[in-house]
Homo-oligomer: A and B are copies of this chain.
Amino acid sequence: MTRPTRVVQYGVGPIGSAIVKLLSVKRGVKIAGAIDVDKEKVGKDLGDVAGAPKPLGIRISSDADEVLSKAKAEVVLHSTTSYLKEVSTQILKCVKAKSNVISTCEELAYPFETNKKIALQLDRFAKRNGVTVLGTGVNPGFVMDTLPIALTGACQNVTRISVSRIVDASKRRLPLQRKIGAGLSLEEFQRPVKERKVRHVGLEESIRMIASALGWKLDRVEETVEPVIAEADVQNLFLKVAKGKVAGVKQVGRGIVQSREAITLDLQMYVGAKEPRDSVVIEGVPPIDMTIRGGIHGDLATAAIAVNSIPKVLKAKPGLLTMKDLPVLSAIP
């Protein structure tokens, strides 16, 4: 019998809660603490807040330093926000406590160019403390970067990579449907786009991770966000989108190499999407044309990938790593 791995959950929002529920049924893991600043959650049992089948005997605390120093966790699972500037202090606290960190912060998936200064600081500090920091999740972290990279492993050469992720938002909760603008008029949709509120975070990080894996030097990365217009009335449990109104969003990231669009990531999330799927098309020798029917379920897979990273992160060398640096993940028992 090996000693269970001690884990702290940092952030008990939707993703953090999904991670906690999964951790609570995995062998070889012991939850040793939980951190969240939400006054509604502090002092309550982690299992109750996360929606686990039973209480876990862990009180959520807003005092990160205390939790981290008491828990002496081998790994902190970190899920607070998407932006690295907002979370770097949180991650540094974990590193200072000599805990490895697995974070679903989207901008941490491949931060070496988009947030270079913070990335270097995290890398240095992680190495000095002998721990590993990893940014991961389903997207960024898997569908639009690690999986296409892994497929290029079977190629003698690659000239172009296109990835599409098409998600039917109909079955998702109302807040998400609202977030992608479902039901808005075209005019109403302009404001959240301008305020970058409908934007998925991580497309640029995925493009830069792919380019780095292939040794491609990017001229630049471009990104566009456009509405998807309903071609017919769409009704679901939560709302109705009339024909001609906004059904959701299409966000495209383009990686330009030597003045050529060498990487295209096309993310569509809208109500009534007919053939939800993830697809990767590699132009190269040999060419590869892959499709995952229905697409990989986002929330379930992000929690899975974070938890499945634990054994690989425990064995990894210290520093700030990305998914392309780790051995292939697998579902842990």
Contacts and interface: CB of A to CB of B under 8 A. Distances in A.
Copies of this chain, complex-wide, total 2
Given A285-B300, A332-B215, A324 B324 contact: no
Contacts of A157: 331
10 contacts: A142-B153, A152-B331, A153-B304, A156-B304, A156-B331, A285-B300, A286-B297, A286-B301, A290-B292, A325-B327
Q: How large is the interface on A (under 10, 10 to 19, 20 to 34, 35 or more residues)?
A: 35 or more
A149 B301 contact: no
A296 interface: yes
A307 B214 CA distance: 14
B152 A138 contact: no
A154 B214 contact: no
Contacts of A214: 330-331, 333
A152 B328 CA distance: 10
A158 interface: yes
A174 interface: no
Interface in A265-292: 284-292
A143 B150 CA distance: 11
Nearest to A284: B331
A215 B286 contact: no
